[in-house]
């Protein structure tokens, strides 16, 4: 157990190191000049040499890549993630603010898609070959091919613009001071993006659960339960459900990477101030420190999800529990 924890800590540190190097190199070789991208062409042209040199120092364009990385890494080890030049605030502060929104959005979508996916998968599996099974299967196949951001646009258009049931964007009403914002306001703003995000995540779990349900419904213990006089539905509920729920949950954890990717797009459409929107902003504005910070946080979230999934797989299936198995 102790070696397991230690190994995962080492794995995590190596991952963070690799991700930060990759991000720095990718941003470093970019031909985009952060100064010109942020200041604007006309303003840049009318500046004096001194001002330009100042700006170059501010954005760190003069220093070589390796040196920049060393500076960043040594500060990072001491807990300083640098300053976001775009938001004019410490990166850690921006990350904490934004993470709250994104995590709330992802958690809600994650739970909803898990519940819907599980339910749809079980129904389709029990009623295999019937009309309802075909409808659910078709729905999942179509959803898996639907561009997330397009779905978000349509949802926004129908429910926010036409019907006016939900606000068009942001995580709270504009013009209200932070103290006046109620939990109801926050919920009102999060429902539409979260629903959109969850709809996209459903297909994966539903199809997987369907396959599993079909396997289980053909098993000896379900047949035995039915022989004892239980109905198909009862047998599925009493004996099938617990065999289905855990694999679905671990699959959900393993798909966190996709949900995060979806949240970037959904946040962009709904102008929802989360990590994804900040990442797009940082990319557009060449905000290296923030970009590195967000990449690290997203990689950490994915790592956490995969770790939980792997632990759950071991808990569910004792056959995987081998000594020295890489977790």
Q: Which is nearer to other proteins, 15 or 103 (CB)?
A: 15
Confirm if 171 and 101 have CB atoms less than 8 A apart.
yes
Q: Does 150 bind other proteins (CB under 8 A)?
A: yes
Q: CB of 298: closest distance to other proteins in angstroms?
A: 5
Q: Does 200 bind other proteins (CB under 8 A)?
A: no
- 202: which 2 tokens? 């459903």
Name which position in 9, 10, 13, 32 contacts other proteins (CB under 8 A). Answer: 32
- 172: which 2 tokens? 């709270």
Q: CB of 228: closest distance to other proteins in angstroms?
A: 32
Q: Considering only residues 269 through 308, tell me which ones interact with other proteins, judged by CB under 8 A.
A: 269, 276, 279-280, 283-284, 286, 291, 294-295, 298-299, 302-303, 306
Q: Is 84 helix (H, G, I), strand (E, B) or coil?
A: strand
- What's the count of helices (H) and strands (E) in the chain, helices before strands? 15, 2
- 258: which 2 tokens? 């996709």
Q: Is 317 helix (H, G, I), strand (E, B) or coil?
A: coil
Place of tokens 């890489």: 326
Burial degree of 94 (CB within 10 A; 0-12, 13-18, 19+): buried
Q: CB of 24: closest distance to other proteins in angstroms?
A: 10
Name which position in 13, 26, 75, 187 contacts other proteins (CB under 8 A). Answer: 26
Q: Hey, which residues does 84 pair with through a beta bridge?
A: 89
Q: What is the DSSP string of 85-97?
A: TTTTEEHHHHHHH
Q: Does 73 bind other proteins (CB under 8 A)?
A: no
Burial degree of 192 (CB within 10 A; 0-12, 13-18, 19+): buried
Name which position in 72, 87, 260, 313 contacts other proteins (CB under 8 A). Answer: 260
Q: CB of 127: closest distance to other proteins in angstroms?
A: 17
Residue 83 C-alpha from the chain's centroid: 24
Q: Considering only residues 82 through 141, tell me which ones interact with other proteins, judged by CB under 8 A.
A: 141
Size of the site for other proteins (CB under 8 A): 49
Q: Does 268 bind other proteins (CB under 8 A)?
A: yes
- Chain residues binding other proteins by CB under 8 A are 15, 18-19, 22-23, 25-27, 29-32, 141-142, 144-150, 153-154, 156-157, 161, 168, 257-258, 260-261, 264-265, 268-269, 276, 279-280, 283-284, 286, 291, 294-295, 298-299, 302-303, 306
């Amino acid at each position: 157990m102790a070696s397991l924890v230690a190994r995962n800590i080492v794995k995590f540190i190596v991952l963070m190191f690799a991700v930060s190097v990759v991000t720095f190199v990718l941003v470093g070789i970019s031909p985009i000049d952060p100064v010109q991208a942020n200041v604007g062409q006309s303003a840049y042209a009318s500046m004096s040499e001194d001002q330009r040199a100042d700006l170059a120092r501010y954005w760190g364009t003069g220093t070589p890549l390796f040196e920049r990385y060393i500076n960043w890494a040594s500060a990072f080890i001491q807990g300083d993630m640098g300053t976001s030049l775009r938001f004019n605030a410490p990166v850690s502060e921006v990350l904490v603010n934004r993470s709250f929104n994104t995590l709330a959005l992802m958690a809600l979508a994650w739970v909803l898609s898990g519940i819907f996916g599980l339910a749809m998968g079980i129904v389709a599996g029990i009623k295999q070959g019937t009309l309802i099974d075909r409808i659910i299967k078709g729905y999942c196949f179509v959803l898996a091919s639907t561009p997330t951001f397009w779905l978000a646009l349509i949802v926004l258009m129908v429910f926010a613009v036409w019907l006016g049931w939900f606000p068009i964007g942001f995580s709270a009403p504009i013009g209200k001071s932070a103290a006046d914002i109620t939990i109801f306001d926050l919920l009102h703003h999060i429902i539409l993006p979260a629903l959109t995000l969850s709809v996209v995540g459903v297909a994966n779990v539903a199809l997987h659960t369907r396959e599993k349900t079909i396997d289980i419904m053909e098993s000896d213990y379900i047949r035995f339960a039915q022989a004892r006089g239980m109905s198909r539905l009862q047998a599925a509920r009493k004996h099938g459900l617990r065999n289905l729920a855990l694999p679905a949950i671990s699959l959900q954890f393993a798909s966190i990477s996709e949900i995060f990717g979806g949240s970037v797009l959904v946040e962009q459409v709904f102008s929802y101030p989360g990590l994804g929107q900040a990442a797009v902003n940082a990319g557009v504005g060449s905000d290296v420190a923030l970009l590195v910070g967000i990449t690290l946080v997203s990689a950490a979230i994915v790592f956490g999800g995969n770790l939980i999934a792997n632990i759950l797989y071991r808990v569910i299936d004792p056959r995987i529990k081998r000594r020295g198995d890489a977790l």
